[in-house]
Amino acid sequence: MITKDEVEHVGWLARIEIDDAEAEDYAVKLSSVLDYFGQLDEVDTDGVEPTYHVADIMNVFREDVVTPSLDQKDVLTNTAEEKDGYIKAPRII
């Protein structure tokens, strides 16, 4: 079960603005999915290694060789606001 408070906290962690009414609704909808996930509790996984990667590969590296960067205009073309070659965003605090 997920509470309304938890929904709000998770919303903040995920940077998704959630108003009061929405939080109520989410609490219900998310809880039913989490209940479903809860069936994983039935599985005995003692001593079972988690699978982070299905392919058993290791040590994949790149040599330290420079490749071309993008043109500045291609970097800035998709942003909502730019200034003097910088991407502009609202202040932090």
Partner 1 sequence: MTKWLSISDVKEKIAATSAEEVTASYLELIGKSSINGYTCTSDGALDTAKMVDKGEVAGPLAGVPIAIKDNISTKGLATTCSSKILEGYVPPYDAHVIERLKEAGAVILGKTNMDEFAMGTSTESSCYGVTLNPWDHERVPGGSSGGSAAVVAAGEAPISLGSDTGGSVRCPAAFCGVVGLKPTYGAVSRYGLISYANSLEQIGPMATCVGDIAAVMDVIGGYDARDSTSIDKKIDHQAALVDDVKGLKIGVPDEYFGEGVDSGTEKAVWDAINKYEEMGASWENVSMPNTKYALAAYYTIAMSEASSNLARFDGTRYGPRNDGENWHVMASRTRAENFGKEVQRRILLGTYALSAGYQDKYYLKALQVRTLVKQDFERAFANFDVLMAPTMPLPAFKIGEKVEDPLSQYLTDVNTVPMNLAGVPCISVPCGSSDGLPVGLQIIGNHFDEATLIRAAYSFEKNTDHNKARPGEVA
Partner 2 sequence: MVYENPDGVMVGLEVHVQLNNLNTKMFCGCSTQYHDAEPNTHVCPVCMGLPGALPVINKRAVESAIKIGMALNCEVVEQTQFHRKNYYYPDLPKGFQTTQYDFPIVGNGKVVIEGEDGEHVVRITRAHMEEDPGKLIHMGSIEKSKGTLIDYNRSGMALIEIVSEPDMRSPKEARRYLDKLRNILDYLDVFNGDLEGSMRVDANVSVMGGQRAEVKNISSHKGAERAILYEIMRQKNLLRRGGEVVMETRHFDEARGVTISMRTKEGEHDYRYFPEPDLVPMRVSDWAPAIREELPELPDAKRARLISEYDITEMHAKALTSDIRVADFYEVVAAAIDPRVAGTWVADVLKGELNYRDLSVDSFTTDDIIEIIKLVGEDKVTEQSAVDVIRTILDNGGTPMEVVTEKGLLKVKGDVVTEAVSETIAENEAAVQDYLGGAEKSLNFLVGQVMKKTKGRADARQARELLVEALKD
Would you state the structure tokens that stand for residue 20, as one six-digit string? 């009061």
| Rounded Cα gap, residues 1 and 33, in angstroms | 9
Q: Which is nearer to partner 1, 39 or 83 (CB)?
A: 39
- Closest distance to partner 2 from the beta carbon of 27 (Å): 18
- Closest distance to partner 1 from the beta carbon of 18 (Å): 7
Q: Which is nearer to partner 1, 66 or 89 (CB)?
A: 89
Task: Provide DSSP, 21-55.
Answer: HHHHHHHHHHHHHHHHHGGGGGS--TTPPP-S-SS
Residues 11-70 that bind partner 1 (CB under 8 A): 11-18, 26, 29-30, 32-34, 36-37, 39-43, 45, 48-55, 57, 60, 62, 70
According to the binding rule CB under 8 A, does residue 3 interact with partner 2? no
- Closest distance to partner 1 from the beta carbon of 67 (Å): 10
User: To 10 degrees, what angle do helices 20-37 and 4-13 make?
Assistant: 90
φ/ψ (deg, to 5) at 11: -60, -40
